[in-house]
């Protein structure tokens, strides 16, 4: 995910300085305005990128395939929730990408729900996660290629990271088809702005990793049904079995490497051939990978969404990598260690593809706005087409009545005295989410009964339920801001 310094970034940074000097932004409650942020100072020198994981259907508690993601960008690219309906397109219709490529539209693009950056020009980027009417889910991480082309190397006519995500959601009926969509577009148009990128794609039956390089070479590998997978920010597909249907790849995967003098001796190992050697064993990546794999292993073979939410909230507590020693030395977001949970997480998602249910109910994304450890995951169904205004509001500056900014400000407020406030915040958030999950089966059963009689009524029911729950989450977030202000 490429980032550009622009005016909005400067404004956001100035906003943080105002917070830290005691000059406060317009909050919803008087008590929240009393928060003292004089200790707000981010020491971490690392550039934040994303993390993703896949859980196969044989090791999830309910048989769903799970795709989860922390979108770590920084610079306050407020996330909006969207529902995009199925659309028909004419034979000569095309879409123009951010870099100016003209991509022909198919006759039909599919409905999906997604999270989006408020403005494609800001990062640049737009669609950061989503799931479509065939329960195909897609997320993206940045990666790094060996010997990238020197800057500036952004020729016109390419496709950027979030556009691949959008195209896959619009055009794929299965995860394997999503791989083919991404691969075809990468080969034809190449990758804009980044030296490498990767995608997690899932459907009710399987999950895949797709890893794409700057000049359009790509490889994909299926995640076994009885396993899990995790990605930080370096290519991890290893030896490619060119005769195995669990691999897909571009025609020039090997020939391009040979033309660059990267030929591998022995079996072709994609990550070693194409990955940036300085990042393959960098703790920035390996610590997240090792910690996530360990935590996933604690819940095999019955992984639940709440287990993954806990992973996305993890700061290596209880390990040698915990630089705060149990929060006694400040916030875990203010260290030199790259943790799974980050102050720069803009949205966290846990998507479930549940093929035994109609897509309107089975395609489910749990989402938490901003930093996961101080945010609340709420469920969003494909059938819930009406998105509350608060979840479509906000930009890179503090915005009133914005869900993103409610939880962004809560994260900043809690970070000031993290050790003093996080216990109460965790307790309140866990209680809220426990109530959600305990009522989930009843809600979905009622929606399923309505769906059998009237799909529109089922959609209205899910929209109302989601909106009411999301509004309660915002209210809870504001009350927790007040709590931080008093402590």
Domains and CATH numbers, the chain: 1-487 (3.60.60.10)
The answer to whether 37 touches 20, Cβ cutoff 8 Å, is yes
Q: Which pLDDT tens digit goes with each residue over 321-344?
A: 999 999 999 999 999 999 999 999
User: What order do you get walking across the sheet with 127-132 strand by strand?
Assistant: 79-84, 112-117, 127-132, 137-143, 196-202, 207-213, 218-223, 247-249
User: CA-CA distance, 418 to 89, in Å (whole number)?
Assistant: 51
Please report, for residues 27, 303, 379, 390, the alpha-carbon distance to residue 463 in angstroms, rounded to integers and kept in the order given.
Answer: 27, 27, 11, 14
Q: Which pLDDT tens digit goes with each residue over 157-177?
A: 999 999 999 999 999 999 999
User: CA-CA distance, 406 to 201, in Å (whole number)?
Assistant: 30
Q: Which pLDDT tens digit goes with each residue over 42-98?
A: 344 445 689 999 999 999 999 999 999 999 998 899 999 999 999 999 999 999 999
The answer to whether 334 touches 43, Cβ cutoff 8 Å, is yes
Q: Which pLDDT tens digit goes with each residue over 133-162?
A: 999 999 999 999 998 876 555 678 999 999
Q: Which pLDDT tens digit goes with each residue over 457-485?
A: 999 999 999 999 999 999 999 999 999 99
**pLDDT the model gives residue 152:** 53
Interhelix angle 403-416/455-486, rounded to 10 degrees, is: 30
Mean pLDDT computed over 13-30: 38
What is this structure's pTM? 0.91
């Amino acid at each position: 995910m490429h980032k550009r310094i622009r005016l909005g970034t400067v404004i956001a940074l100035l906003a943080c300085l105002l917070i830290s000097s005691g000059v406060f932004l317009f909050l919803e409650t008087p008590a929240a305005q009393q928060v003292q942020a004089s200790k707000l100072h981010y020491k971490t020198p690392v550039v934040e990128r994303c993390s993703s994981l896949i859980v196969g259907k044989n090791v999830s508690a309910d048989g769903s395939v799970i795709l989860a993601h922390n979108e770590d960008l920084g610079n306050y690219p407020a996330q909006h929730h969207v529902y995009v309906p199925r659309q028909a397109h004419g034979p000569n219709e095309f879409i123009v990408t951010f870099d100016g490529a003209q991509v022909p539209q198919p006759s039909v693009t599919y409905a999906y729900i997604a999270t989006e950056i408020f403005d494609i020009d800001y990062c640049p980027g737009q669609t950061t996660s989503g799931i479509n009417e065939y329960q195909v889910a897609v997320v993206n991480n940045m990666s790094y290629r060996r010997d990238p082309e020197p800057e500036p190397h952004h020729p016109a006519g390419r496709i950027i990271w979030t556009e691949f995500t959008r195209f896959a959601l619009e055009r794929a009926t299965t995860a394997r088809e999503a791989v083919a969509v991404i691969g075809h577009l990468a080969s034809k148009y190449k990758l804009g702005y980044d030296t490498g990128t990767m995608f997690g794609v899932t459907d009710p039956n399987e999950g895949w990793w797709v890893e794409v390089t700057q000049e359009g070479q790509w490889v994909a590998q299926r995640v076994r049904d009885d396993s899990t997978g995790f990605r930080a920010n370096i290519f991890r597909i290893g030896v490619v079995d060119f005769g195995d249907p669990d691999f897909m790849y571009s025609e020039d995967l090997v020939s391009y490497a040979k033309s660059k003098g990267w030929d591998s001796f022995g079996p072709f190992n994609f990550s070693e051939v194409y990955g940036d050697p300085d990042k393959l064993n960098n703790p920035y990546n390996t610590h997240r990978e090792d910690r996530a794999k360990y935590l996933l292993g604690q819940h095999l073979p019955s992984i639940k969404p709440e287990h993954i939410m806990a992973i996305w909230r993890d700061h290596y507590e209880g390990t040698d990598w915990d630089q705060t020693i149990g929060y006694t030395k400040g916030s875990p977001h203010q260290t030199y260690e790259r943790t799974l949970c980050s102050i720069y997480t803009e949205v966290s998602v846990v998507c479930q593809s549940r093929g035994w249910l109609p897509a309107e109910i089975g395609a489910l994304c749990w989402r938490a706005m901003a930093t996961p450890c101080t945010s609340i995951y709420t469920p969003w169904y494909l059938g819930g087409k009406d998105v509350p205004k608060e979840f479509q509001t906000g930009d890179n500056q503090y915005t009133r009545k914005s869900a993103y900014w409610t939880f962004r400000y809560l994260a900043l407020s809690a970070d000031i005295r993290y050790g003093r406030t996080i216990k109460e915040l965790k307790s309140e958030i866990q209680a809220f989410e426990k109530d959600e999950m305990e009522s989930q089966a009843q809600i979905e059963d009622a929606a399923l009964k309505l769906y059998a009689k009237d799909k529109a009524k089922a959609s209205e029911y899910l929209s109302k339920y989601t909106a009411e729950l999301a509004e309660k989450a915002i209210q809870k977030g504001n009350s927790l801001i007040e709590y931080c202000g008093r402590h």
